[in-house]
Structure 1
Amino acid sequence: RATLVVSAMLLCLLLPALVQSAPLPSPSDASPAFREAAERAKLLLEKILRDVATVHTATVTAEGLTLDSSQTSGLHMMSLSLGIPPAPVLKPLSQRFTLDMLVSRMLAGCRQYQGLLGVLSDKLSGLTELNADLGELLTHIATMREAAELTETDETASSDLASRLHGDYEVQVTAHMTLVQLRSFCHDLMRSLRTVAPQRPQAAGTR
């Protein structure tokens, strides 16, 4: 009986370790359709990241609102009062942050910034192409989800932004903060895509 008790205690101690050490999905396991959609998303992200700076210069004309400005504390408080939601956080894959959750947050972020740019498009010109690119990016990531047969969870943040944009300065701050956050989210998205679908090295003689 004592041996059984000791065995049971050892099993209880070892079981959490066994569960935690369960292997994560390997990038090499990704299907060709998943990889192709991820590569298309990466190429589009490169374009979006280039265009964000151009769009910011064209649309945000208020003094002091530069894309790389370090003075963001006051603007952060104002963005909270305007109801500009933060970007979904993209974490490294782990037992607690699965591929399903990662791709769901990728989709949520694309939808979120599509919605914000859509609201701003009623107040400012020059956002249409960037918004369309986000729509195409959303399609590529949705294709990744379908190819990997992932379950999407609703991670989209709601916002009542349109009713709060009463003046030109509010519009300018919203456009500025949206583009700053979008650029940061796209950098995180690119890093995540490179992790889950790294580019395979070319074989010798295939160039």
Structure 2
Amino acid sequence: MDPRTVALLHCFLFAVLVQSAPVSSPADPPPAFREAAERAKTLVEKILRDIPTVHSATINTEGLSLDSSSQTTNLQMMVTSLGIPAPPVLKSLSDSFTLDMCVSRMLVGSQLHHGLLGVLSDKLSGLKDLRADLRDLQTHITKMKEAAQLSSDVSDQNQIPDLASRLQGNYEVQVAGHVTLMQLRSFCHDLIRSLRAAIAYRRAGGKR
């Protein structure tokens, strides 16, 4: 074959390969992902700062302290009776716990607490701003999923139970509010760690 023909074929094949190559690979997603993750992290930090103030303003039953490191047997029984679901577990990123899974669980956990606070808002005042922040957090996490083209499927493993029907008295309301805020605080700490890992994951080109 004529050398010039071979050269032309090589150029053609190279052009085709370059044109068909993806603009961004999963290990190098667009900057919009990191921007959304940074905004989400800033909002989670605000939520963490606000939780103690919200707890002080809404929970006034003796023994339901935000700083308490242990739960009484009676409180544990109440939590079981109310059926408040635990948020999804956020693990370190790995081959078995992918970024897709991590971000999906972030969204599920945010939706769970937003819903729980919605139910409690009918019984307790002072939860409106915190609930609005959780709604905004869902928006940022959704933008992360869209920017990185992650799966749009969200697990329904944490559907909110019929909590309203179980809040028969003030004590039940107080316990539900206390447990929800305690649980939200713990989940937010996990969110911070996961968001930092996700941001670093992106900057490191997919290497953890």
Shift of 1:73: 4.6
Q: Which runs of 5+ in 1 are unaligned?
A: 1-24, 201-207
Distance 1:30 1:68, change over 3 A: farther
Structure 2 counterpart SS, 1:68: coil
Give yes or no for the alignment of 1:164 onto 2:163. Answer: no
1:100–1:152 Cα contact (<8 Å) kept: no
- Residue 62 of structure 2: aligned partner: 63
Distance in 1, matches of 2:72 and 2:133, equals 30
Distance in 1, matches of 2:162 and 2:120, equals 12
Shift of 1:30: 3.9
- Residue 100 of structure 2: aligned partner: 100
1:113–1:178 Cα contact (<8 Å) kept: yes
Q: Where does structure 1 differ by over 3 angstroms across 4 or more consecutive aligned residues?
A: none
1:100–1:150 Cα contact (<8 Å) kept: yes
Cα RMSD over matched residues?
1.5
- Residue 130 of structure 1: aligned partner: 130
- Residue 34 of structure 1: aligned partner: 33
1:30–1:197 Cα contact (<8 Å) kept: no
| Code of the aligned partner of 1:175 | G
Structure 1 residues 1-207: aligned runs within 5 Å: 29-74=28-73, 75-156=75-156, 157-158=158-159, 159-198=161-200
Shift of 1:127: 0.2
Distance in 2, matches of 1:95 and 1:43, equals 27
1:103–1:152 Cα contact (<8 Å) kept: no
Distance in 1, matches of 2:162 and 2:29, equals 38
Distance in 1, matches of 2:155 and 2:78, equals 24
Q: Deviations over 1:85-137 (max 9, x none)?
A: 00110011122211111111000001000000000000010000000000000
Q: Which runs of 5+ in 2 are unaligned?
A: 1-25, 204-208
TM-score scaled by length of structure 2? 0.80
Distance 1:30 1:72, change over 3 A: farther
Shift of 1:33: 0.2
Identity, % of aligned pairs?
A: 64
Shift of 1:71: 2.7
1:82–1:164 Cα contact (<8 Å) kept: yes
